[in-house]
Amino acid sequence: MALGALNLSRRTAAARQKSSEQPGLAFRTAWGNLRRVEGGGIIKRLKPWGGAVLAGLVWTLAFPHVALALAGWLAPALLVALCHGPRFRRVFALGYVAGLAQGLSSLYWVLLIPYPPGAVAGWLALSAYCALYPALWVWFCWWRFPVRDLSGLAEAWLRLRHLPWRDRVLWPLQCALGWVALEQLRGWLLTGFPWNYLAHSQLDLMPLALVASLTGVLGVSLLVAWGSMSFLVATTGSVHLRGRERWRRIGLDAGPVLGFMVLLLGLAWWQVEAREKQLKPRGTVRIAMVQPSIPQQVIWESYGSRERMIERWELLRELTIEAARMEPDVIIWPEASAPLSATRDANGRVELDPIDELARTLGVPMIVGTDEAVLDSQGNRRMARNSCFHLDANGTLQASYSKQHLVMFGEYVPFGGVLPFLKKLAPVGTFTAGEGPVLFDLGGVKAAPVICFEDVLPSLVRRAAVEEADFILNLTNDGWFGESNQQWQHARAAAFRAIETGRPLVRCTNNGLTCWVDWRGRIHRLEKGSIYEKGVRIMELPVMDAAGAVATFHQRTGDWLGWACVLASGAFAAARWRPKKDSAGEADMA
């Protein structure tokens, strides 16, 4: 017994000496063990999760900074192809991982909010919430797959080859309807987050983006999702064919979506050309937009520091004087740029000093964004609003607008009265929403103001862009998110409002992207250097006489497509609800 132990000890010592003499031996031994473990399934089990992450990252490439339109076409197909499993719970989990990868990577700018507790919590919570939608979508797609009881992805593609043409066409269409339904719900639930829609990745493909003038932005998402899924079915279902037979199969499977796409593109182009002939030029309006590029941390510090407040005011005053030298028709400040809040007393009188004095001294009309304190009869603050004010050349208030759609945790805390600890996650106080749209009359040219993220909300901008409005004016402060891709994502989403309403969009921002968008959705940049630099952006906005011109189809009919897709997808899901239970009590994979 002792001799055996001694021999074992000697062999162990000899092995250690040999390992030290041959450094590569330890690595080769470890690699051999890993290969054996792989045979046992660890890498095999991790591979689907890596595929899900890959699908999410490709989806991210569709949006700025990269803004690769092709990635938008690949994303839906990759999500379905790489998020598959033998159980619906597995499908949902893979879809959730893909969505989480996309959310964390594309919304990283939330981390740049200069309030770390809220920034980290907001980034994680928003990404986790948005990940639910691709998870539900992948689940819906495989739930609607025409064949039940599949053993895996390979069998799905094998069975796909032998499906009748009707199923090979209807399944991609149902998947596309489900995609649009979930985008509609994401843009509506919990006050809505219509950010990075699939359509936003296609803004540079102008003929396709113009479809939004007919259907709204979701119509573009529908075409891209349908095209992506049809391509997946056409290619995987014809891989066993060769030559002419393969191209014939691809043509049959992709033909319906291509035909529908050509039809919509033709109708959209015809509408744009016909409306352009009806519009008559009636001059221009010269607009000077002040971009102060004040960091958000400095803005917050100025509320408790007189020195900081004076610095902000001096910067705005100098830039405004510079803008006045350019002889504009109006000078515009971005959202919440004024260091002092406007006050509105119980009788409705508004105090804007010293801004009104500045407008009077320069003799130029101004539109300024600032917080507004509404007082009660005792002079105490009753509520606060995020507002903008139009002053004429004499410094007299002409009109005001208060933001209607407030941002959760940015401008109010839901359930803050019941759960006070939630207020610690929000860096600002509670604001009150404004009431309805207004028009600012700039000497016969009428602007429809919206504030901050309101320009990504199709229904709100559609209500604001009434028949008399000549252009949409957005005042925003994207300085919360530093110098990031958020400014580009915001601008691309807002550009679709110009297409939908058939009116140009003018955007005045704190730190970029200050620009204007024509009614075809083309972004016209005004800066000479970086979009984040402070300065004055000057532009000549063409004004068209829309009398007699027919409004875009979307402006006349509204956001009907999204809710139609919600109803259709709900009906499809209910029609398929025939769950089978295995011994573990889980529904079999569709």
Per-residue model confidence as pLDDT tens digits over 405-447: 998 877 877 766 666 666 666 666 689 999 989 999 999 999 9
Tens of pLDDT, residues 144-155: 998 876 666 777
Output the CA angle 97-71-156, nearest 5 degrees. Answer: 60
Task: Kindly state the average pLDDT of the residues 576-580.
Answer: 60
Residue 76 above 60 pLDDT?
yes
Q: Residue 31: inside a domain, yes or no?
A: no
Tens of pLDDT, residues 321-365: 999 999 999 999 999 999 988 999 999 999 998 999 999 999 999
Q: Residue 38: inside a domain, yes or no?
A: no
Residue 25 above 60 pLDDT?
no
CA dihedral 142→145→147→150, nearest 10 degrees, is -20
Banded pLDDT at 578 (limits 50, 70, 90): low
Percent of the chain whose predicted confidence (pLDDT) is above 70 = 87
Q: Residue 19: inside a domain, yes or no?
A: no
294 shares a domain with 272: no
* 524 neighbors 517 (Cβ within 8 angstroms): yes
Q: What is the CATH number of the domain that holds 493?
A: 3.60.110.10
Banded pLDDT at 133 (limits 50, 70, 90): very high
Q: Residue 17: inside a domain, yes or no?
A: no
351 shares a domain with 441: yes
* pLDDT value of position 43: 77
Residue 581 above 60 pLDDT?
no
Banded pLDDT at 207 (limits 50, 70, 90): very high
433 shares a domain with 290: yes
Q: Residue 347: inside a domain, yes or no?
A: yes
* 284 neighbors 444 (Cβ within 8 angstroms): no
* pLDDT value of position 415: 63
Q: Residue 23: inside a domain, yes or no?
A: no
Residue 408: which of 196, 191, 194 has the closest Cα? Answer: 191
121 shares a domain with 169: yes
Number of domains in the chain: 2
For the entire predicted model, the pTM comes to: 0.89
Q: Residue 84: inside a domain, yes or no?
A: yes
Residue 110: which of 387, 408, 339, 402 has the closest Cα? Answer: 408
Of 283 and 5, more confident? 283
265 shares a domain with 223: yes
343 shares a domain with 304: yes
* pLDDT value of position 338: 93
CA–CA separation, 563 and 188 (whole Å): 10
Banded pLDDT at 13 (limits 50, 70, 90): very low
Banded pLDDT at 15 (limits 50, 70, 90): very low
289 shares a domain with 200: no
497 shares a domain with 416: yes
* pLDDT value of position 200: 98
Residue 55 above 50 pLDDT?
yes
Q: Residue 265: inside a domain, yes or no?
A: yes
271 shares a domain with 287: no
Residue 186 above 80 pLDDT?
yes
DSSP codes of every residue in 545-568:
E-TTPPPPHHHHH-SHHHHHHHHH
296 shares a domain with 238: no
Residue range(s) defining the domain that contains residue 176: 43-276+564-575
Summary mean pLDDT of the chain: 88
Length of the chain: 590
296 shares a domain with 216: no
269 shares a domain with 123: yes
* pLDDT value of position 519: 93
